[in-house]
């Protein structure tokens, strides 16, 4: 790789300054605010914040509603990640084999990534509407089979499908790129060695894609913890009975609806730590096993 | 065990024709080398035999069975790739044994066969390493092992030695030849290195721009090149070419550069006045004081160690003389040469096709080509 060296450090500083400014304004400053709130409590009738130490966290961790939210978030994260990556992988394997029409659906598959989460939520609200479209017929035949408005599991399922649908595109692009970067001669050697299409996927393509797989795993899990707000807000508003009250959504609810800034801030800190821990864990223990030579 | 019959095989990518109707019969257990310059379609032909490339028209039969529509794995061929194409995530042992694993052969037998192959190729010490931890030569051996272990009917090699250094290349060349002798398989080896080709081959196939120019043993190709192209391609240093016309007596050639050279009187189709190219190998141009029939204007000397090349010009054409002579002429001096008529190759001035001797002995290759 070529590197540019700067004799004059001021020029270098000037060039990174915009980026640093953005990171500071949109990340470090809000984070420091959140930390401040998380360890303080606003006086009931105004008049400044009072230092309370870990009291906000203690309250959260003894709150069964909070643990419900954690549980739902974990289910959501695992399910969307598995669904999105599984589907993306299958589609990428097809696209890589260049079956007829792949040029069209390759583009078609990338589009959803450009769609904003609330838009995704809205469209799925129509698709999954129990009293309109396809599902109204099904409900007519089997009453009560599909009822995301009353049934918590149905609602969670709906949010998972919508979330996964949005994430497929991203994983698809990476999987396809990984597949196409496998040298053709390797696939050919594998074919000469007698292995058919499926066997080649299993023995050659999947192992060689492991680094990509790992990368996407981290990104998808992180995304599903932090980027699900729009979908929940448009589809279920966290209900019914908090069945889809994901951690991000609960932060928003407690903070902006319940005006409990301190509780919400403490939740953000926990979520942040969780994501950091997950990423760290994955880099430390998973990635190590899948690099070659 | 396996002969390969190639009938009018052609390959086109879209509108570009890459291989033009090739006919070739490869005998059982023969070592065939396909030789030609870069881009002439050697790899394409080999890959069509392997089944990695669809055949646009024509027919390939292995062991009497047409394989056009048969998948690569069912053709009984093993291939060694130029970049080795080892599986980076598998150990050497897994790489070698992969074909057996796919074939569902038991672990015990697999291990035993891997050990045998590894011992043959002298790679037993590296069985637990990944390909990334091997040198080029070791990778080459692993690639060979992977091809050998299946005991295929046909070995296909696509320039497998081109990534090795000169010394290793020579060594691997001999090993490949030795293995071929032992394994009783038919080998098809693609290269653009004529020395490699000549040392390995039972018969060579010289290709040019998607056509087969000539098929024959190294000796035949050297002594009786079927075209100007083959004449120039086979032999190092390469053949000298001079333009000329058949003289009125039909027994000599008047060169554009002036001199007249007597030619082999048995050359038949040489009509007086016809434009020809004559080919003279550098080693067949003898320096002589008297009785010279050609003179070369000397430019410079190339020392080879076991001989030397005198570079010069005849008229407008470059001309090389190989000689053990120790006395270098002065720059620009005229060197006298004596050219034996029997060492002059005559090619048609337009088509480049060799003008054959009439009473020529039936070449060995036509005999070899008849089905056994
Ligand atoms: N997929 C393809 N599409 C179009 N043209 C191709 C394709 N593959 C090869 N060719 C063309 O076919 C011709 C023959 O290619 P091939 O690989 O057989 O050459 P080669 O004789 O093996 O050369 P080299 O010694 O460089 O390997 C080349 O001109 C190449 O550009
Ligand atoms: Mg090639």
Domain borders along chain A are 1-38, 55-289
Residue A194 to residue B81, Cβ atoms within 8 A: no
Tell me how far the alpha carbon of residue A163 is from its chain's centroid.
Answer: 8
Beta carbon pairs, A and B, within 8 Å: 65
DSSP B355: -
Is any Cβ of chain A less than 8 angstroms from the Cβ of B102?
yes
Residue B131 to residue A193, Cβ atoms within 8 A: no
CATH of domain B4-229: 3.40.50.300
Relative orientation angle of helices A133-141 and A117-127, to the nearest 10 degrees: 40
Domain ranges, ordered by start, for chain B: 4-229, 238-365
Is any Cβ of chain A less than 8 angstroms from the Cβ of B10?
no
Paired with B347 in beta bridges are B277, B354
Among candidates A192, A203, A292 on the partner chain, residue whose Cβ is nearest the Cβ of B79: A192
Distance from CA of A80 to the nearest CA of B (A): 29
Tell me how far the alpha carbon of residue B92 is from its chain's centroid.
Answer: 31
- Please tell me the distance from the alpha carbon of residue B276 to that of residue A46, in angstroms, as a whole number: 108
Neighbouring C-beta atoms of residue B37, cutoff 10 Å = 13
Q: What is the pLDDT of residue A122?
A: 79
Is any Cβ of chain A less than 8 angstroms from the Cβ of B331?
no
- Please tell me the distance from the alpha carbon of residue B346 to that of residue B241, in angstroms, as a whole number: 10
The string of pLDDT tens digits covering residues B127-163 is 999 999 998 889 989 999 999 898 889 999 999 888 8
Angle at A23 between CA A17 and CA A26, to 5 degrees: 135
By three-state DSSP, how is residue B196 classified?
helix
Neighbouring C-beta atoms of residue A2, cutoff 10 Å = 3
Q: How far is CA A34 from CA A112, A125, A273, B4, in A?
A: 32, 33, 13, 76
Q: Which ligand 1 atom lies nearest to the CA of residue B190?
A: 22
- Using a 10 angstrom Cβ sphere, with 0-12 exposed, 13-18 middle and 19 or more buried, the burial of residue B311 is middle
Q: What is the pLDDT of residue B364?
A: 42
Q: What is the pLDDT of residue A6?
A: 60
> Pocket residues for ligand 1 (CB within 6 Å)?
B 13, 16, 18, 36, 38-44, 192
What does B17-39 look like in DSSP terms, one character per residue? EEEEEEEEEE-TT-EEEEE--TT
What does chain A look like in DSSP terms, one character per residue? ------S-HHHHHHHHHHHHHHHIIIIIHHHHHHHHHHTEEE-TTSS-EEE-TTHHHHHHHT-HHHHHHHHHHHHHHHHHHHHHHHHHHHHHHHHHTT-TTHHHHHHHHHGGGGS-HHHHHHHHHHHT-TTSHHHHHHHHHSTTS--TTT-HHHHHHHHHHHHHHHHHHHHHHHHHHHHHTS-HHHHHHHHHTT--HHHHIIIIIHHHTHHHHHHHHHHHHHHHHHS-HHHHHHHTTT-STTTT--HHHHHHIIIIIS--HHHHHHHHHHHHHHHHHHHHHIIIIIGGGG---
CATH of domain A55-289: 1.10.3720.10
Return the half-sphere exposure (C-beta side, CA atoms, 13 A cut-off) of residue A213: 17
Mean pLDDT by 10 residues, chain B (372 residues): 88 92 92 92 93 92 90 90 92 94 93 92 90 90 91 91 86 88 90 90 92 92 91 89 85 82 70 85 84 85 84 89 81 85 86 71 42 41
Q: Which ligand 1 atom lies nearest to the CA of residue B37?
A: 25
The string of pLDDT tens digits covering residues A79-125 is 999 999 999 998 888 888 766 666 777 777 777 777 777 777 778 77
Return the half-sphere exposure (C-beta side, CA atoms, 13 A cut-off) of residue B44: 24
Residue B103 to residue A194, Cβ atoms within 8 A: yes
Residue B99 to residue A194, Cβ atoms within 8 A: yes
By most ligand atoms within 8 Å of CB, the mutation choice from B13, B35, B212 for ligand 1 is: B13
User: For residue B13, which ligand has an atom nearest its CA?
Assistant: 1
- Please tell me the distance from the alpha carbon of residue B101 to that of residue B118, in angstroms, as a whole number: 16
Distance from CA of A188 to the nearest CA of B (A): 7
- Please tell me the distance from the alpha carbon of residue B244 to that of residue B247, in angstroms, as a whole number: 9
Distance from CA of B72 to the nearest CA of A (A): 6
Residues of A in contact with B153 (CB under 8 A): none
Do residues B344 and B285 touch, judged by C-beta distance below 8 A? no
Residue B85 to residue A207, Cβ atoms within 8 A: no
Paired with B205 in beta bridges are B34, B215
Residues of B in contact with A201 (CB under 8 A): none
> B interface mutation test: which of A189, A204, A209, A214 has the most B CBs within 10 A?
A189
Distance from CA of A92 to the nearest CA of B (A): 21
Do residues B289 and B306 touch, judged by C-beta distance below 8 A? no
| Cα of B47 from ligand 2 centre, angstroms | 9
The low-confidence residues of chain A, meaning pLDDT below 50, are 1, 293
Paired with B208 in beta bridges are B211
Do residues B123 and B145 touch, judged by C-beta distance below 8 A? yes
| Cα of A184 from ligand 2 centre, angstroms | 14
- Please tell me the distance from the alpha carbon of residue A94 to that of residue A98, in angstroms, as a whole number: 7
Do residues B233 and B214 touch, judged by C-beta distance below 8 A? no
DSSP B227: B
Residue A208 to residue B99, Cβ atoms within 8 A: no
b/e map B108-144, b = 16+ CB within 10 Å: eebeebbeebbebbebeebbebbbeebeebbbbbbbb
Assigned token pair, B97: 């044994």
Residues of B in contact with A192 (CB under 8 A): 50, 52, 72-73, 77-79
Dihedral angle computed from the Cα positions of residues B175, B178, B180 and B184, in that order, rounded to the nearest 10 degrees = -150
The string of pLDDT tens digits covering residues A153-180 is 788 888 888 888 888 888 888 998 898 8
Q: What is the pLDDT of residue B268?
A: 62
B280's enclosing H/E stretch is strand B275-280
Provide CB contacts within 8 A for A84, sequence distance 6+.
Answer: A163, A164, A165, A167, A168, A171, A220
Q: What is the pLDDT of residue A288?
A: 63
Start-end of H helices in chain B: 42-50, 92-102, 107-121, 136-148, 166-183, 194-200, 218-223, 228-233, 364-369
Question: pTM higher than 0.90, yes or no?
Answer: no
Distance from CA of A138 to the nearest CA of B (A): 46
Q: Which ligand 1 atom lies nearest to the CA of residue B192?
A: 25
Residue B71 to residue A208, Cβ atoms within 8 A: no
Q: Which chain B residue shows the shortest CA-CA distance from A183?
A: B85
Do residues B36 and B232 touch, judged by C-beta distance below 8 A? no
Return the half-sphere exposure (C-beta side, CA atoms, 13 A cut-off) of residue B299: 13
- Please tell me the distance from the alpha carbon of residue A193 to that of residue B98, in angstroms, as a whole number: 7
Residues of A in contact with B86 (CB under 8 A): 189
| CA-CA-CA-CA torsion sign (A158, A160, A166, A169) | negative
- Please tell me the distance from the alpha carbon of residue B117 to that of residue B113, in angstroms, as a whole number: 6
Do residues B79 and B147 touch, judged by C-beta distance below 8 A? yes
Q: What is the pLDDT of residue A150?
A: 74
b/e map A204-240, b = 16+ CB within 10 Å: bbeebbbebbbebbbbbbbbbbbebbbbbbbbbebbb
The answer as to CATH 2.40.50.140 being correct for domain B238-365 is yes
Residue B150 to residue A188, Cβ atoms within 8 A: no
| Cα of A244 from ligand 1 centre, angstroms | 58
Q: Which ligand 1 atom lies nearest to the CA of residue B44?
A: 18
């Amino acid at each position: 790789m070529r590197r540019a060296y700067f004799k004059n450090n001021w020029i270098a500083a000037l060039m990174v300054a915009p980026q640093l400014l953005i990171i500071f304004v949109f990340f470090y400053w809000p984070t420091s605010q959140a930390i401040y709130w998380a360890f303080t409590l606003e006086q009931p009738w105004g008049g400044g914040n009072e230092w309370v130490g870990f009291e906000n966290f203690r309250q959260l961790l003894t709150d069964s509603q909070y643990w419900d939210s954690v549980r739902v978030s974990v289910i959501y994260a695992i399910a969307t990640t598995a669904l999105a990556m599984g589907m993306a992988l299958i589609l990428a394997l097809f696209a890589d084999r260049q079956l007829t029409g792949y040029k069209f659906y390759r583009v078609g598959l990338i589009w959803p990534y450009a769609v904003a989460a609330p838009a995704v939520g809205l469209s799925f609200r129509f698709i999954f509407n129990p009293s309109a479209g396809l599902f109204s017929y099904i409900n007519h035949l089997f009453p009560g089979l599909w009822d995301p408005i009353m049934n918590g599991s149905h609602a969670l399922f709906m949010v998972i499908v919508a979330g996964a649908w949005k994430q497929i595109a991203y994983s698809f692009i990476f999987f396809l790129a990984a597949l196409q970067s496998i040298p053709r001669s390797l696939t050919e050697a594998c074919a000469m060695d007698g292995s058919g299409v499926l066997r080649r996927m299993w023995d050659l393509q999947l192992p060689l894609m492991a680094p990509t797989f790992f990368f996407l795993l981290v990104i998808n899990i992180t995304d599903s913890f932090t980027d699900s707000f729009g979908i929940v807000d448009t589809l279920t508003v966290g209900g019914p009975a908090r069945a889809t009250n994901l951690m991000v959504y609960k932060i928003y609810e407690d903070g902006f609806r319940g005006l409990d800034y301190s509780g919400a801030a403490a939740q953000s800190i926990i979520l942040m730590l969780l994501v950091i821990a997950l990423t760290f864990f994955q880099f430390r223990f998973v990635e190590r096993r899948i690099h070659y030579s | 065990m396996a002969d390969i019959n190639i009938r009018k095989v052609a390959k086109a990518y879209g509108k570009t024709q890459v291989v033009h109707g090739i006919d070739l019969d490869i005998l059982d257990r023969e070592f065939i080398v396909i030789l030609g310059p870069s881009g002439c379609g050697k790899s394409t032909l080999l890959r069509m035999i392997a089944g990695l490339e669809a055949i646009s028209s024509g027919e390939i039969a292995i062991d009497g069975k047409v394989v056009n529509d048969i998948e690569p794995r069912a053709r009984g061929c093993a291939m060694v790739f130029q970049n080795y194409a080892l599986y980076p995530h598998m150990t050497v042992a897994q790489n070698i044994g992969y074909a057996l694993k796919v074939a569902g052969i038991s672990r015990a037998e697999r291990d035993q066969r891997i050990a045998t192959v590894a011992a043959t190729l002298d790679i037993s010490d590296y069985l637990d390493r990944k390909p990334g931890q091997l040198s080029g030569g070791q990778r080459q051996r692993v690639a060979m092992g992977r091809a050998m272990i299946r005991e295929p009917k046909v070995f296909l090699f696509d320039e497998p030695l081109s990534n090795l250094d000169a010394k290793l290349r020579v060594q691997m060349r001999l090993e490949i030849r030795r293995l071929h002798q032992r394994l009783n398989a038919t080998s098809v080896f693609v290269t653009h290195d004529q020395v490699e080709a000549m040392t390995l081959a039972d018969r060579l196939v010289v290709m040019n721009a998607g056509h087969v120019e000539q098929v024959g043993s190294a000796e035949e190709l050297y002594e009786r090149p079927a075209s100007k192209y083959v004449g120039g391609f086979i032999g190092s240093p390469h053949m000298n070419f001079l333009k000329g016309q058949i003289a009125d007596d039909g027994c000599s050639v008047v060169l554009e550069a002036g001199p007249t050279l007597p030619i082999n009187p048995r050359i038949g189709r040489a009509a007086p006045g016809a434009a020809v190219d004559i080919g003279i190998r550098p080693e067949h141009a003898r320096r002589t004081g008297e009785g010279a029939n050609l003179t070369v204007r000397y430019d410079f000397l190339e020392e080879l160690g076991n001989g030397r090349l005198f570079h010069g010009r005849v008229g407008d054409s470059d001309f090389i003389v190989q000689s053990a002579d120790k006395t270098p002429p002065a720059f620009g001096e005229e060197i006298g040469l004596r050219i034996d008529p029997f060492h002059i190759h005559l090619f048609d001035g337009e088509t480049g096709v060799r003008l054959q001797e009439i009473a020529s002995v039936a070449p060995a290759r036509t005999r070899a080509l008849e089905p056994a």
